[in-house]
């Protein structure tokens, strides 16, 4: 981006030339930093969706290659059409995001066009005040030497940051996606151990959500998203799957649990992740013995996640 401002021809002889460094401005102007963070989050969401489409295509392709010898000609044709459709969907999604005039470029323009206008406005104001005729952007103009005292970059940055007044939404809630509880092992499945654990966890989260300042996403919305991505309710998700589903639900955090039964003892393993940061935290294990209060035990271990969610 070449930034420049010219005075009238009659003023040039009594005026000066100055330089700015647009790279430094974009790295230190608070509004530009905020805009880049927003763009990075959008890119992260797009990549999660793209990875999901790619994984679905690759898994279907491997399945076809494994079964190809046993399929009839008719079945092969149908499977090949399915693979072609999946591949095309993946490629079209990528093109829609990163192709010419795609969503990435539109989002970048949306975020940065007003910022560039503000930067140019401030450069013009500084140039007027300092009687500067020409301002060159050394990030792109190929300048090989500048005399001391003609760089106005810091003045521009200071003026921009002084005028920056970010919109802060007081008490803005983060979203926690509760992905449910999956039974592990035949005893847990046969006894439907996940039902009691899920009920207790939802109650605890509902009770904690005001203190945590979160919006809880659970139930039908999550179940529908899991189904749409082809994940059965009784299949354990890994961190990548969990991040994918939570990200598609605009979640800042995801929480999921696995329950095991061994006689009268119950073991619950809780996992917390931050989808947009692709970050997972150490699992928390709860062992509930016969006669112990399940809700109390779960509430105590949820305290380990409390500081993370609150950002403390």
Q: Which CATH class is domain 174-310?
A: alpha beta
SS3 235: coil
214-250, pLDDT tens digit by residue? 899 998 888 888 887 788 877 899 998 898 888 888 8
154-212, pLDDT tens digit by residue? 999 999 999 887 665 555 788 999 999 999 999 999 999 999 999 999 999 999 888 88
Which residues are within 8 A (CB) of 119 and not within 5 positions of it... i.e. 6 or more apart?
Answer: 3, 22, 25, 29, 156, 160
Domain spans of the chain? Answer: 1-167, 174-310
Contact status, residue 32 vs residue 115, Cβ threshold 8 Å? yes
pLDDT of residue 211: 86
pLDDT of residue 310: 80
**pTM for the whole thing?**
0.59
Contact status, residue 258 vs residue 180, Cβ threshold 8 Å? no
Identify the residue with better confidence: 224 or 257.
257
Instruction: Report the percentage of the chain scoring pLDDT > 70.
Output: 91
CATH level 3 topology of 1-167: Protein Binding, DinI Protein; Chain A (3.30.910)
Q: Is the pLDDT of residue 14 over 60?
A: no
């Amino acid at each position: 981006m070449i930034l420049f401002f010219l005075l009238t021809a009659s003023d040039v002889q009594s005026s000066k030339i100055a330089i700015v460094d647009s790279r430094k401005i974009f790295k230190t102007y608070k509004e530009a930093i905020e805009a880049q963070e927003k763009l990075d989050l959008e890119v992260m969401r797009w990549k999660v969706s793209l990875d999901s489409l790619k994984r679905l295509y690759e898994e279907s392709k491997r399945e076809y290659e494994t079964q190809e010898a046993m399929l009839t000609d008719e079945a092969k044709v149908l499977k090949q059409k399915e693979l072609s459709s999946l591949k095309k969907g993946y490629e079209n999604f990528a093109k829609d995001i990163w192709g010419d005039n795609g969503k990435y470029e539109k989002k970048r323009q949306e975020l940065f066009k007003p910022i560039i206008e503000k930067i140019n406005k401030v450069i013009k104001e500084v140039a007027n005040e300092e009687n500067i005729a020409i301002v060159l952007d050394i990030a792109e103009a190929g300048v090989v030497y500048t005399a001391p005292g003609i760089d106005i970059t810091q003045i521009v940055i200071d003026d921009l940051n002084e005028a920056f007044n970010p919109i802060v939404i007081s008490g803005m809630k983060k979203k926690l996606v509760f992905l449910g509880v999956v039974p592990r092992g035949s005893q847990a499945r046969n006894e439907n151990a996940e039902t009691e654990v899920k009920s207790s966890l939802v109650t605890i989260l509902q009770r904690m959500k005001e203190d945590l300042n979160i919006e809880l996403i659970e139930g039908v919305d999550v179940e529908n998203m899991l189904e749409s991505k082809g994940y059965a309710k009784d299949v354990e998700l890994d961190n990548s799957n969990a991040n994918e589903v939570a990200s598609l639900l605009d979640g800042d955090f995801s929480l999921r649990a696995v329950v095991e039964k061994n006689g009268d003892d119950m073991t619950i393993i809780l996992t917390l992740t931050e989808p947009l940061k692709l970050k997972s935290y150490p699992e928390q294990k709860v062992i509930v013995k016969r006669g112990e209060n399940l809700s109390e035990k779960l509430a105590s271990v949820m305290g380990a996640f409390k500081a993370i969610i609150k950002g403390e």
